[in-house]
Structure 1
Amino acid sequence: MMSLPKIVCFALLSLALGQLYQAASTETVSVCPTNFTRVADKCLLADNSWKNWYDSDRHCRSLNAGLLSIKNQTELKAIQEWLPVVWPYGTEFWTAGNKFGETKTLIDYYWQSTGEQALYLPWNQGQPTPASGDCLVLYASVSMSTGQMVMDKHLLTVKNCTQWAGHICQAPLQQFTTQLCLNPSAVYEAKVPV
């Protein structure tokens, strides 16, 4: 059995250590890098400065990002809703889609930013046209039939990589564990990368 002085000493030590650092709450948060917007589960940045595909790719890499890749219809729908908000009159944007010089088949495209084969390819009408080039843009046609400008949804179109277009950079979500720490004189919040 523990003696009374040892119990009191243990209790005081526990109380003192508890006062130095106590995590009141912990949660994991996902945030986008500065200037990027969360769209679906990606962080995107639309850049309207017209560049060729190679310069667009370099620009995204300078931001620790890559050109846009599209995995599925849910992602595409979120992108199609986001683009008119951030760039209402932007008709075409480079993506990471590229043939990588592949000539075996006419329609094998890859997402250069991930190296994966592009399995979901939402083509514009009349596409793909491999003779037009090796790179893919999200393109929306514009009509004035009603007297007002009407823009279609952005879908994939083949384009020569040396031509000019805007581009969309994609960065991964940054995961942080946020801890709210208490001590007798202050409250601290710490973000720790996961």
Structure 2
Amino acid sequence: MFTLISKVVAFLGILSFVKAYSINPYIEEGIPENANITTDPFVKIGNGYYYIENSQTVNWYTAYHSCRKLGADLVTLENQEELKALQEYNLTSGFYWTSGSDLAFTGKHVWFSDAESISSDLWLPNEPNNADCNERCVLLSVANTLADSGLNDVTCSRNTSFICESPTPMTASFVIW
């Protein structure tokens, strides 16, 4: 009998709590500036979160696998603004794997992470060229200037650095009153 009374009292207590307060949820993209939340190993660059691996060089497949282990994908460059944000971040000049490839259909370069076509304004001059009919994966060539930075198709077995891109974190908050 005591347990039944306890359950009824608990139920009535919860019911009175729910009626006494208003709970309003808010969900937004990103992390508020004043939040003390770490995004390691990812850094915020522009509107995205990236992990830049330049302490080791690996082939495209290993780079892809490394990003997936972090819950991310190899970087997908949406437009010139994203390329500019990465270039202005002071990346070490050099080469970085992206998620781009034409592994599914030769000559049709898409981003592996979302199957969208790669924008033609991101390529370096005279690229992609599939030299020796063996260039199937896409790397980002970073130079001192944005005009000299861009995409190049190369052989997937080449060892180079890579950039992972994390999904944008979501912040959920609740206002109770």
Q: So what's the TM-score if we normalise by structure 1?
A: 0.66
Q: Does 1:97 align with 2:100?
A: yes
SS in 2 for 1:117: coil
Task: Confirm or deny that 1:157 pairs with 2:152.
Answer: yes
The 3 A distance-change label for structure 1 pair 63 and 152 is: same
- The equivalent residue for 1:81 is 88
Specify which of 53, 57, 61 is matched with residue 54 of structure 1: 61
Q: How does 1:124-143 map to 2 (within 5 A)?
A: 124-131=124-131, 133-141=135-143
Runs (4 or more) in structure 1 with deviation over 4 Å come to 20-27
1:65 aligned onto 2:72: yes
**Whole-angstrom distance in 1 between the partners of 2:165 and 2:41:** 11
Match for residue 45 of structure 2? 39
Partner SS for 1:77: helix
Task: Give the gaps of 5 or more residues in structure 1.
Answer: 1-12, 142-150, 183-194
Q: Which runs of 5+ in 2 are unaligned?
A: 1-12, 32-37
128-137 vs 58-67, greater mean Cα deviation: 128-137
Q: Is the CA contact (8 Å cut-off) linking 2:102 and 2:136 kept in structure 1?
A: yes
Corresponding residue of 2:4: none
Give the deviation of 1:41 after TM superposition.
Answer: 2.9
- Name the counterpart of 2:115: 115
Greater fraction of residues in strand:
1
- What's the counterpart of residue 171 of structure 1? 166
- Is the CA contact (8 Å cut-off) linking 2:73 and 2:164 kept in structure 1? yes
Aligned residue type for 2:113: S
- 1:78 is displaced (CA, Å) by 1.4
Identical counterparts, % of pairs = 24
Check whether the contact 2:80–2:121 (CA below 8 A) recurs between aligned residues.
Answer: no
Over 3 Å counting, the alpha-carbon distance change for 1:59 and 1:123 in structure 2 is same
RMSD: 2.8
User: Structure 1 residues 38 and 166, CA, compared in 2 at 3 Å: closer, same or farther?
Assistant: same
* Alpha-carbon distance in structure 2 between the residues aligned to 1:138 and 1:155: 6
Contact 1:71 1:120 in 2 (8 A): no
Offset at 1:164? 0.8
Query: Following the alignment from structure 2 to structure 1, what is the Cα–Cα distance between the partners of residues 25 and 115?
Result: 39
Matched letter for residue 78 of structure 1: A
